[in-house]
């Protein structure tokens, strides 16, 4: 049995931000680039080998309001639908200290540090464990050097403010490029594997 990889997916601006200075809803530097062909192909890439999705509470609740409707929409882009159906059907683990019950069918709530949860998930099952856009979880796993693959979509705008993915104080790590692609608007789909 192959050891399970921990993968993480996120869209970032050129200055490394996952939202702008206006708060979590300020995605003006990201939204124009996440529906391009390059971004949608990256969306397919992130889930093809994943059998578990690990989410923080905010993303679990936000995704629930959006993706199930895409899964049912026959007019949606087939790549969006493929991802949406996978997300609805796959094992979901939601990290939360406040939720009492799961917001999703087929999801379980775990109130424990991300590194502990990943260790348990790696000990059982097969396939990639995808941390999908849940920044708090990705940051915790980067700090513990537990991310094996990073899927980054780089949007060609400088947000000028807002939080960054790569904070000071992370352990120094080396990565190799597994895939790179540039879109018509200058967006980049990058896949980095941790060199261990």
CA distances to 76, 119, 121, 136, 153 from 144, in Å: 38, 11, 16, 13, 23
Helix (H, G, I), strand (E, B) or coil at 136: helix
**Residue 38 Cα to chain centre, angstroms:** 16
Look up the pTM and report it.
0.93
One digit per residue, pLDDT tens: the chain, 196 residues? 568 999 999 999 999 999 999 999 899 999 999 999 999 999 999 999 999 999 998 888 888 778 888 989 999 999 999 999 999 899 999 999 998 888 777 789 999 999 999 999 999 889 999 999 999 999 999 999 999 999 999 999 999 999 999 999 999 999 999 999 999 999 999 999 999 9
Q: Would you state the pLDDT for residue 2?
A: 66
Token readout for 172 is 């120094």
Assess contact for 180 and 191: CB atoms under 8 A. Answer: yes
pLDDT for residue 1:
53
The Cα–Cα gap between 60 and 100 comes to: 14
Partners of 192 in the β-ladder: 150, 177
CA-to-CA dists, residue 51 to 19, 130, 153, angstroms: 28, 8, 21
DSSP string for 62-108: HHHTTHHHHHH-TTS-HHHHHHHHHHHHSEEEEE-SS-SS-SSTTEE
Domains and CATH numbers, the chain: 6-194 (3.40.430.10)
- The DSSP symbol for 25 reads T
CA of 136: how far to CAs of 20, 72, 88, 95, in Å? 16, 29, 22, 10
């Amino acid at each position: 049995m192959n050891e399970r990889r921990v993968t993480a997916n996120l869209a970032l601006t050129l200055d490394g931000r996952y939202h702008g200075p206006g708060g979590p809803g300020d995605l003006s530097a990201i939204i124009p680039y996440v529906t391009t062909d390059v971004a949608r192909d990256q969306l397919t890439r992130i889930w093809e080998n994943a059998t578990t999705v690990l989410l923080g509470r905010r993303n679990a609740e936000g995704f629930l309001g959006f993706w199930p409707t895409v899964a049912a929409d026959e007019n949606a882009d087939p790549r969006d639908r493929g991802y949406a159906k996978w997300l609805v059907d796959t094992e979901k683990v939601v990290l939360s200290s406040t939720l009492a019950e799961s917001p999703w069918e087929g999801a379980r709530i775990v109130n424990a540090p991300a590194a502990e949860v990943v260790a348990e998930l790696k000990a059982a099952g097969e396939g990639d464990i995808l941390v999908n856009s849940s920044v708090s979880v990705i940051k915790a796993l980067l700090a513990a050097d537990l991310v094996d693959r990073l899927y980054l979509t780089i949007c060609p705008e400088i947000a000028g403010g807002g939080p960054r993915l790569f904070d000071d104080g992370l352990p120094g790590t080396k990565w190799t490029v597994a895939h790179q692609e540039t879109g018509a608007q200058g967006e980049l789909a990058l896949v980095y594997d941790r060199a261990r």
